[in-house]
Amino acid sequence: MKIKEIFQPKSSLSDQDVARGLRMLTWEGMVSMGFFSITTSGFLAAFALALGANNFQIGILAAIPFITQPIQIPAILVVERLKRRKLLTVVTWFLAQGMWIPMALIPIFIGVPGGGAISILLLLMAIRGIFGAVTTCGWNSWLRDLVPQEILGRVFSRRLALATIVAIAFSLTAAYFVDYWRAHVPSENAVLGYTIAFLFGALFLGLASPVFMSLMPEPQMQPVTEPQVSLWKTITSPLQDKNFKQLMKFLLFWGFASNLAIPFFAVYMLKRLGMPLSAVIALGALSQLFNVLFLRVWGPLLDRFGSKVVLSLCASLYLLVIFGWTFTTMPEQHLLTVPLLVVLHIFAGVATAGVTLAVGTIGLKLAPQGQATAYLAGASLAASVGTGLGPLFGGLFADFFSVRQFSISFAWADPTQLLQWPVLYLTGFDFLFAVAFIMGLMTLNTLAKLREEGEVGREVVLDELVSQVRPVTRAMSSVPGLNFVTMFPFSYLRQVPGMDVAIGVTAYQLADMAKTTTLVAAHGWRATTRVAKMLENSLSQMWKPVKAQPADGIEVARHTARGAIHAAHEASLNTKQLVPLAMVGIVRALKRARVNPQDAFRGAGYGVVQGAVETGANLAEAVAQAIAGAREAARMLGLAEEEAAAQAAEGALIAIEEIAPEAMAGVRAALPADLTAEYSQPNSNGTSGEQGDIPN
């Protein structure tokens, strides 16, 4: 095929053309993000620090790719006049990716660390940013016409998932290589480890990206039937659309608020916490792993409920993550620093998956047909300006606050000693994280004013993540052993921005883990003998509290049993065999975490019924199986069978009362009287047994 034909737009695309284009789009994402994993992360920050950069220069480095985006303004005119988006995109992207080669060679030709080296790095990054801005303009418009609107979420979630896997593998390999290099060469040659990694990535991944782009078909741009408008009117047309203007405002402020902090996470770990590069990149890989896991969650939710609600949920969760960084030192590293960093990176991955998908699709949905170039360029420009200004001010703030501190502590003094416990301690980067959190909260108000066709409220999507959380918390708040709300301030925490999503995500992931593990364990086996052991191992690895509260164990048991029932429904497994084995695995794992087995049986009984309600199973049979399963599991574990059965019955009946009260009479009639006696006498409130204290 001739080069001219490769870059020739097509008047119409067949289904085969679209399918081929989507495949190449996925491959392009894999190689480009694989290379980006070291050029837009802690790896690049570490390289800049090795060249002699300070906080403000780190901010400039992070800002350059975004503050060069105004180049899109004249690029719009070029795209509209030439109508060759593919040619323009591929050529400029090849030049942009190629700029990493001279950047990687800086330590070979310039003495480091030094002002000259970092100045050349910033100059080359600026040139690359100009090429990248032109690329973005043509690329967004091209994708708008290539990818079918009804599958935007699925296409981009799959692309991001596969690309993230490549990014994790490459970033970890590069980081461990650099650490190994630094440990085995003279200190003056240590920086060359970055050079080797950058050169390898640029040649084998970076330059492969425009190759895959060239294999994607380009739909011909729609002819303009109306009179040509001026460049000024073209670039200002999105501002005349009140709704799209609101989107641009949100992207501007969100880019600024979030990037006050995000570019400095790696610098904070490298400088303040003194962590090795491999540890920093490993935490980033953990975040990317959860990014992959939740792309398959957010993608379908985005297609069903819209981009706005997913963006709102995930942005609020990310703000909670940013605020959490202020507690990683109090004022120095403490026992929980590393565990907290792990948790923050996990939820950062969850949130980033949703934000990336939603931001990438909401503009495509709101841009009018035939005006995509100007509208998407406007959205990209707004996001880029905010994202570019954020690191600049972040660097200035970090330097300003580096010699200032604010602290709140509890103190106890007596004649022999003075004891102090820090509650809040802010200095340097800590101020930066707190300011970013506050500004982010203000930014969420602008998103609330945006309108998207078919949008739903946050609560609808949260209910998809954690089904029946509200009624369960009401039930547990007043029942001994199930008083989850009174022992842990769940209802209050859900008022904290982002905490509702964090709780929902945790419950979702727990149930999904149990479901996946059960399906894997039963695959190829008509019997489910492996379920107990695999559930025990998976649960032990996923949930390892040092000292668990009983209510925590109840919740874990509930969601794990619920997930197992979903697996049984999907794979047509024998629940009569599955339930006792699932209970064995749950109880064994929770016993390791110092949870009372009776609490585990109670939570599992609730989970079995909840899963049965959600899958449409017979509730009387589900309760009977929960009780019989508890007896059998207790016998297998050497525990008291009657006590286990009573606890499972209690949890199951509470579930019936809360989730499907209309079925309670039939379920009670089918069970032994000794197991239902305490629920059979109505109290003065007209409810049964101890349920009378449940708040409305």
Summarize the confidence of residues 499-508 as an average pLDDT. Answer: 53
Per-residue pLDDT band for 406 (boundaries 50, 70, 90) equals confident
Beta strand pairing status for 405-414 and 417-427?
A: antiparallel
Helix pair angle (231-240, 72-82), 10° resolution: 110
- Interatomic CA distance for residues 104 and 516, integer angstroms: 43
Instruction: Read off the pLDDT of residues 647-666 as tens digits, 9 standing for 90 and up.
Output: 888 888 888 888 888 888 77
- pLDDT at position 520, please? 55
Instruction: Read off the pLDDT of residues 43-78 as tens digits, 9 standing for 90 and up.
Output: 888 899 889 888 888 888 888 888 887 787 777 778
What single DSSP character describes residue 149? G
CA dihedral 445, 451, 455, 457 (to 10 degrees): 20
- pLDDT at position 493, please? 41
- The answer to whether the CB of 672 falls within 8 A of the CB of 626 is no
What CATH code is assigned to 21-218+247-410+419-448? 1.20.1250.20
Per-residue pLDDT band for 568 (boundaries 50, 70, 90) equals confident
- Interatomic CA distance for residues 331 and 423, integer angstroms: 10
Question: Who has greater pLDDT, 621 or 238?
Answer: 621
> What element of type H or E holds 407?
strand 405-414
Q: Is 83 left (phi over 0), alpha (psi -120 to 50) or beta?
A: left
Per-residue pLDDT band for 196 (boundaries 50, 70, 90) equals very high
578 pLDDT more than 50? yes
Least confident window among 329-338, 369-378, 554-563, 598-607? 369-378
- The answer to whether the CB of 298 falls within 8 A of the CB of 354 is yes
- Scored b (16 or more CB within 10 A) or e, 397-421 reads bbeebeeeeeeeeeeeeeeeeeeee
Per-residue pLDDT band for 91 (boundaries 50, 70, 90) equals very high
- pLDDT at position 21, please? 87
142 pLDDT more than 90? no
Summarize the confidence of residues 101-111 as an average pLDDT. Answer: 91
Bridge partner residues of 417 (DSSP): 414
- The answer to whether the CB of 206 falls within 8 A of the CB of 32 is yes
Question: Who has greater pLDDT, 546 or 34?
Answer: 34
pLDDT > 90: percent of the chain: 8
- pLDDT at position 477, please? 39
- The answer to whether the CB of 349 falls within 8 A of the CB of 288 is yes
Per-residue pLDDT band for 674 (boundaries 50, 70, 90) equals low
Most confidently modeled range among 184-198, 211-225, 445-459: 184-198
Candidates 291, 77, 336; CA nearest to 163 is 291
- pLDDT at position 485, please? 33
Instruction: Read off the pLDDT of residues 224-269 as tens digits, 9 standing for 90 and up.
Output: 555 555 556 666 777 777 878 888 888 889 889 888 888 888 888 8
Question: In Å, how far are 326, 513, 517, 563, 573 from 568, measured between CA atoms?
Answer: 43, 14, 11, 9, 5
> What element of type H or E holds 406?
strand 405-414
3-class secondary structure, 631: helix
The predicted model scores a pTM of 0.59
The single residue listed with the structure tokens 């994402």 is 29
Q: In sequence order, what are the residues at sequence separation of 6 or more whose Cβ sits closer than 8 angstroms to the Cβ of residue 284?
A: 37, 41, 42, 171, 266, 345
Summarize the confidence of residues 385-403 as an average pLDDT. Answer: 84
101 pLDDT more than 90? yes
Question: Who has greater pLDDT, 360 or 685?
Answer: 360
- The answer to whether the CB of 73 falls within 8 A of the CB of 378 is no
Summarize the confidence of residues 418-422 as an average pLDDT. Answer: 67
Summarize the confidence of residues 337-343 as an average pLDDT. Answer: 90
Candidates 270, 293, 422; CA nearest to 348 is 293
514 pLDDT more than 80? no
DSSP string, 48-76: HHHHT--HHHHHHHHHHHHHTGGGHHHHH
215 pLDDT more than 80? yes
Number of Cβ atoms within 10 Å of the Cβ of 629: 28
Instruction: Read off the pLDDT of residues 634-643 as tens digits, 9 standing for 90 and up.
Output: 888 888 888 8
Bridge partner residues of 408 (DSSP): 424
- The answer to whether the CB of 511 falls within 8 A of the CB of 566 is yes
DSSP string, 299-345: HHHHHHH-HHHHHHHHHHHHHHHHHHGGGS-SSS--TTHHHHHHHHH
Q: Is the bond leading into 580 cis (omega within 30 degrees of zero)?
A: no
- pLDDT at position 27, please? 93
Summarize the confidence of residues 545-563 as an average pLDDT. Answer: 65
Mean of per-residue pLDDT scores for the chain: 76
Instruction: Read off the pLDDT of residues 145-169 as tens digits, 9 standing for 90 and up.
Output: 888 877 777 787 788 778 888 888 8
- pLDDT at position 664, please? 80
Least confident window among 289-293, 301-305, 433-437? 301-305
- pLDDT at position 99, please? 93
Pair of tokens at residue 114:
């030094």
